[in-house]
Structure 1
Amino acid sequence: MESSNSIEVRGLGKRVADAGGELTILDGIEFTARPGSAVAITGSSGSGKSTLLGLLAGLDVPSEGSVILAGHDLFALDEDARARLRAAHVGFVFQSFQLLPNLTALENVMLPLELAGKPAAEAARTMLERVGLGARLHHYPRTLSGGEQQRVSLARAFVVQPSLLFADEPTGSLDAASGEKIIDLMFSMHQEQRTTLVLVTHDAQLAARCGQQIVLHAGRLVAPTGKA
């Protein structure tokens, strides 16, 4: 599988040392996400959802198994090469927004483009207008509501036109009304850009909007449903 927005997971496992010897966090995870699909990773707290997402993004290293991301065997690459792969193909949306507090909304969205050496200001302005924040360009995160901060986070993620978008509980810090608006916006942009979307969520309604659900229990895949 060589598409720039595909994911293939093979026999993925993660174990860590603890006081009792060794703790298995993930065991034998296998699935494929096809280009342009939406995949929900669900399960109870402690089931390994966020660990799996971190492994898919190459932010952590597994104990065994492989992740083929955008046509590359992720863990055959060194840390610098994985970082370059993420910069070229991946966007992130976090529950806690992860905006830089000393940068305005516009500057936060410009940042990934500037780091990639690409023209930034006009693209960032256009993307903020796309998410309904054209009048808030020069506001700092502390002056924005939670929903507005998550819109800035979405704009920052999509402005680089990522092949893959990883979202960790993207509505977890928002009230129901704000969360629904963010989800509608995220799925609209996912469909427009044909980005492969992988999200961690406790929200059954959000998971149901995805064509594929990866359900974890105690680190194991118990119910792969739907088609990627």
Structure 2
Amino acid sequence: MPASLASPLLQVERLSKSVTDSTGSLDILRDINASFARAETVAIVGASGSGKSTLLSILAGLDTPSSGTVHLEGRDLFALSEDDRAALRAQKLGFVFQSFQLMGNLTALENVMLPLELAGHGAARKLAREMLERVGLGQRLGHYPRLLSGGEQQRVALARAFVVQPALLLADEPTGSLDFATGASIMELMFDLNRERGTTLVLVTHDRAIAARCDRCLTIEAGRMLAPAV
């Protein structure tokens, strides 16, 4: 196996995050170490306020740690400039949020085209259309988010995340605002797309049944990782 495939896609070492306000310093994450293999699915679980979403934001390079490193395909995210980090994110990462985060003034098709257009891809419309058809929304291309159900909006968000063929997909409670049946169908679709495209999936969830479907489950408690990281 080539070394590039044997090495972790994502490596986290001694990661900590603290914030300071008028009451003093608060440790949100403390000495997190973890590695994530290519095409692996990993659930991150823990109580509200334990640091799960903060960790996911740092893995995406959207937030910065107080100390420690995050390497994505061997590149230290926080040794890069903000512009270079954003460029790497556009090439390598997809992100799915609980609240969908769609652009309300864009149609479903335009929302999915957006990351491709930002990357300068010449076939953005064709690829976005194909991706929306794959998630079952071929008849909703021209609909704006306000005209779509919650489940349909999350399918658009999944299409937008996967259309760039990311090496890493980060999902923060992607079914948290959906009813049980809709959430189950969204998770089925997410796992199917993950298998098809060989993406590494790191998923924050409160749902133990969803976590059990992943290859590994990591638990964070009071900012510390309790489960084995490798």
Output the TM-score relative to the length of structure 1. Answer: 0.96
- The change in CA–CA distance for 1:2 and 1:27 in structure 2 (over 3 A counts) is farther
CA contact (8 A) 2:43 2:218 kept: yes
CA contact (8 A) 1:15 1:22 kept: yes
* Cα offset, 1:214, TM superposition: 1.4
Q: Does 1:109 align with 2:115?
A: no
CA contact (8 A) 2:8 2:35 kept: no
In structure 2, the residue matched to 1:200 is: 204
* Matching residue within 25, 49, 53 for 1:22: 25
In structure 2, the residue matched to 1:95 is: 98
- The change in CA–CA distance for 1:5 and 1:186 in structure 2 (over 3 A counts) is farther
Distance 2:146 2:8 in 1: 34
Q: Does 1:72 align with 2:75?
A: yes
CA contact (8 A) 1:171 1:183 kept: yes
Distance 2:45 2:91 in 1: 27
In structure 2, the residue matched to 1:38 is: 41
Distance 2:32 2:218 in 1: 10
* Matching residue within 64, 83, 87 for 1:61: 64
Matched letter for residue 129 of structure 1: E
Matched letter for residue 64 of structure 1: S
Structure 2 SS opposite 1:127: helix
Could you report, residue by residue, the CA deviation over 1:184-206 in whole angstroms, capped at 9, with x for unpaired residues? 00000001100000111101011
Structure 1 SS opposite 2:140: coil
In structure 1, the residue matched to 2:14 is: 11
Structure 2 SS opposite 1:100: coil
Distance 1:115 1:59 in 2: 18
Q: Does 1:84 align with 2:100?
A: no
Q: Output aligned runs, 1:150-165, within 5 Å.
A: 150-165=154-169
* Matching residue within 101, 117, 124 for 2:128: 124
Distance 2:65 2:110 in 1: 34
Structure 2 SS opposite 1:86: helix
In structure 1, the residue matched to 2:224 is: 220
CA contact (8 A) 1:42 1:213 kept: yes
* Matching residue within 117, 128, 144 for 1:140: 144
Runs of 4 or more above 3 Å deviation: 1-5
Structure 2 alignment gaps of length 5 or more = none
CA contact (8 A) 1:5 1:36 kept: no
Matched letter for residue 90 of structure 2: A
- The two structures, once aligned, show a CA RMSD in angstroms of 1.4
* Matching residue within 181, 189, 195 for 1:191: 195
CA contact (8 A) 1:8 1:31 kept: yes
CA contact (8 A) 2:97 2:171 kept: yes
Matched letter for residue 57 of structure 2: G
Paired residues in the alignment total: 226
Calculate percent identity across the aligned residue pairs.
63
Matched letter for residue 78 of structure 1: S
* Cα offset, 1:224, TM superposition: 2.9
Matched letter for residue 28 of structure 1: D
Distance 1:80 1:113 in 2: 17
Structure 2 SS opposite 1:65: strand
* Cα offset, 1:99, TM superposition: 0.5
CA contact (8 A) 1:106 1:128 kept: yes
Distance 1:79 1:224 in 2: 31
Distance 2:74 2:101 in 1: 28
* Cα offset, 1:76, TM superposition: 1.1
Q: Does 1:169 align with 2:173?
A: yes
